[in-house]
Chains A and B, each alone.
Chain A
Amino acid sequence: MGTNQAWKKHNKEIRPGIHITGKWHKNSYLIKKELGSGAIGTVYLCEWNGRTAALKVSDTSTSMTVEVNVLKSLEKVQGNPLGPSLVDIDDWTSPLGNQYTFYVMEYLQGQSLASFIRQQGKEWIGVFMLQLLEDLERLHQSGWIFGDLKTDNILVLHSPPRVRWIDVGGTTKIGRAIKEYTEFYDRGYWGLGTRRAEPSYDLFALVMVFLHVFYPKRFEKKQSSSQVFLINKINAVKELTPYRTVLRKAVEGKYQTSAEMRVEVINCMYHMQKMSRSRTNKNVQKSTSLPMLAEAGGITLLATMYYLLSLLL
């Protein structure tokens, strides 16, 4: 995205070491460093009352208000938190006299999806897919589409490893036009659908998230059919082999809900486990005597029950 390529006013005024004091609530935040920057605004690490938090500021105050609206409605969704929790929203008048609206949220610490999977192994791919699909399902059920789903907006929190969304700037009400997006993850950019907020929009982006994990430099659109191009990209990744069909269907927009896709991911994992189990069974036949014994015992028990039942009838 046009991070440092677009000219923003606040970037010139906010530097590490300065204090941002709210006009209404009078809380003072010490800016420590920049955490990230998007099309709408910049997120800084800040310190306040000895605690660390994340502070987001933008040149357009209305978009901050809109994001806070989203955060507030996400806090109402039951279950695992869907976004960072909101700490404060306020205005700041800069030394140059410009007024900015900012909000402060919980600072989530973790690891990027790509580095976690690289370190901990490919068996986490399916786990994170399921976690993300579960969160998406709850989000969609409550009437929202995430919109700007991308690796930058996802963090893996530790013990236990759990994916969390850290920026909800693109979250849009179902049926409307997606508020914010990143080209690589956007089906509109690939010519594979509209930018209307519907579950299939997020599911497409989810596929791109996992492609980005294995293509760290991403890749660009080709003149030929994007659909074939993306499917080839999926098929070229060895680690994604078990999920090929599911990922392809999501690119083609075949899933109406994330629950549908989730079921098929579970099937893939089950299938994969069965395959690897039968493979190990063949390899180490001697050690299988115990489960075989148990299985034989189970069958005998079942047979006895049937026998008794037939006696009763």
Chain B
Amino acid sequence: MKKGTLKQILLITDGCSNKGEDPAATAALANQQGITVNVIGILDDQTEQPEGLQEVEEIALSGGGVSQLVYKQVLSQTVQAVTKQAMTQTLQGFVNKELQQILGSGQSMEDLAPEKRGEIMEVVEDMGETCDLEVLVLIDTSASMHDKLPTVKEALIDLSISLNSRIGRNRFCIYSFPGKKKDIQKVFDWSPQLDAISTVFPKLTSGGITPTGPAIREAMYQFGRKSLRRSFRNGNEPGVEEA
């Protein structure tokens, strides 16, 4: 099977969007471009029922990704679990498509007896270990996120340790929203390591509005720009800009 690059947006937020288009719609759009949108909703310690965060699940559902609500103390573990789980889910999607060609349409892995799934999962695991991965981290920096940002930073450095222990290559970049003038603001450009973010993180300033939808749309174009540049080099792989 062809070794590909998985593209993910990891949205880290603590509340609902309140400006611009529906984030679930832009997430669906990103998913159409082959980008998975994962969402981590950070809960406050006082929050009993995470009502305000229902949006989190909806964004991930239409973005073809994984969502998880957590308290900030366990953020590190969750960030890496969500990223890996989303990779597995995407790869499993590919495998399911192949399976449908073999077994006939409407068949997926869940329709196979548990014993038979084992071998397929081994293939999925192999792919997850060796494929290349691009993660765009999109951080909500609206006012309420302020005290959570140091934890987010730790969690991202930790994610980089985990992913760089894989065989496949990784590239990360970080954007925050809302930006000063634009919808999103570049914090850290595409790089294989995240160790250097310690220096850029304190620069984040928290604002009042949460334009999650427009932020996802802009984030999607950041993959586009890069793959455009790459298609210029390689002469294949059309960019997603025309979407």
Q: Known: A91-B114, A99-B110. Is A69-B121 also a contact (CB below 8 A)? A: yes
B interface residue numbers (CB < 8 A to A):
50, 68-71, 73-74, 76-78, 81, 85, 88, 92, 109-110, 113-115, 117-118, 121-122, 124-125, 129, 158, 161-167
Chain B residues near A91 (CB, 8 Å)?
A: 110, 114
CB-based contact A68/B114 at 8 Å: yes
CB-based contact A196/B81 at 8 Å: no
Shortest C-beta distance, B125 to chain A (Å), equals: 6
Q: Name, among B50, B77, B124, the residue most crowded by chain A CB atoms within 10 Å (CB to CB).
A: B77
CB-based contact B162/A188 at 8 Å: yes
Chain A residues near B74 (CB, 8 Å)?
A: 1-2, 5-6
Q: Known: A6-B70, A176-B167, A196-B165. Is A62-B158 also a contact (CB below 8 A)? A: no
Interface string of A219-242 (1 = CB under 8 A from B): 000000000000000000000000
Q: Name, among B71, B85, B125, the residue most crowded by chain A CB atoms within 10 Å (CB to CB).
A: B125
CB-based contact A24/B71 at 8 Å: no
CB-based contact A90/B70 at 8 Å: no
Give A24's nearest chain B residue, CB to CB.
Answer: B113
CB-based contact A177/B85 at 8 Å: no
CA distance A62 to B96 in the complex (A): 13
CB-based contact A6/B76 at 8 Å: no
CA distance A89 to B71 in the complex (A): 32
Chain B residues near A176 (CB, 8 Å)?
A: 129, 165-167
| 30 A–B contacts from the bound complex (CB under 8 Å) | A1-B77, A2-B70, A2-B73, A2-B74, A2-B78, A6-B69, A6-B70, A6-B74, A24-B113, A62-B88, A62-B92, A62-B109, A62-B124, A65-B114, A66-B125, A69-B118, A89-B115, A90-B114, A101-B114, A176-B167, A177-B166, A177-B167, A178-B162, A178-B165, A188-B161, A188-B162, A189-B76, A194-B161, A195-B161, A197-B165
Apart from A2-B73, A69-B121, what are 10 other A-B pairs with CB-CB below 8 Å?
A1-B77, A24-B114, A65-B114, A65-B121, A89-B115, A188-B161, A188-B162, A194-B161, A194-B165, A195-B161
Interface string of A58-93 (1 = CB under 8 A from B): 001110011011001000000000000000011100
- The SS class assigned to the B binding surface is helix
Give B53's nearest chain A residue, CB to CB.
Answer: A7
CA distance A1 to B163 in the complex (A): 19
Chain A contributes a number of interface residues (CB within 8 A of B) equal to: 31
CB-based contact A5/B110 at 8 Å: no
Give B168's nearest chain A residue, CB to CB.
Answer: A177
Chain A residues near B113 (CB, 8 Å)?
A: 24
CB-based contact B77/A177 at 8 Å: no
Chain A residues near B165 (CB, 8 Å)?
A: 176-178, 188, 194-197
CB-based contact A195/B162 at 8 Å: yes
Q: Does A39 contact B (CB under 8 A)?
A: yes
Chain A residues near B121 (CB, 8 Å)?
A: 62, 65-66, 69
CA distance A66 to B69 in the complex (A): 24
Chain A residues near B158 (CB, 8 Å)?
A: 188-189
CA distance A27 to B85 in the complex (A): 29
CB-based contact B118/A68 at 8 Å: yes
CB-based contact A69/B50 at 8 Å: no
Contact of B118 among A1, A65, A178 (CB under 8 A): A65
CA distance A197 to B134 in the complex (A): 22
Q: Does A183 contact B (CB under 8 A)?
A: yes
Shortest C-beta distance, B7 to chain A (Å), equals: 19
Chain B residues near A178 (CB, 8 Å)?
A: 162, 165
Give A191's nearest chain B residue, CB to CB.
Answer: B161
CB-based contact B73/A60 at 8 Å: no
CB-based contact A5/B70 at 8 Å: yes
Chain A residues near B114 (CB, 8 Å)?
A: 24, 65, 68, 89-91, 101
CA distance A5 to B44 in the complex (A): 11
Shortest C-beta distance, B191 to chain A (Å), equals: 18
Contact of B129 among A5, A90, A177, A195 (CB under 8 A): A177
Q: Known: A69-B118, A195-B161, A195-B162. Is A5-B81 also a contact (CB below 8 A)? A: no
Chain B residues near A297 (CB, 8 Å)?
A: none
Chain B residues near A99 (CB, 8 Å)?
A: 110
Q: Does A17 contact B (CB under 8 A)?
A: no
Contact of A39 among B77, B109, B161 (CB under 8 A): B77
Q: Known: A62-B88, A65-B114, A176-B167. Is A39-B81 also a contact (CB below 8 A)? A: yes
Q: Which 9 A/B pairs are nearest by Cβ-Cβ distance?
A: A2-B74, A195-B165, A177-B165, A196-B165, A89-B114, A177-B166, A65-B121, A188-B161, A194-B165
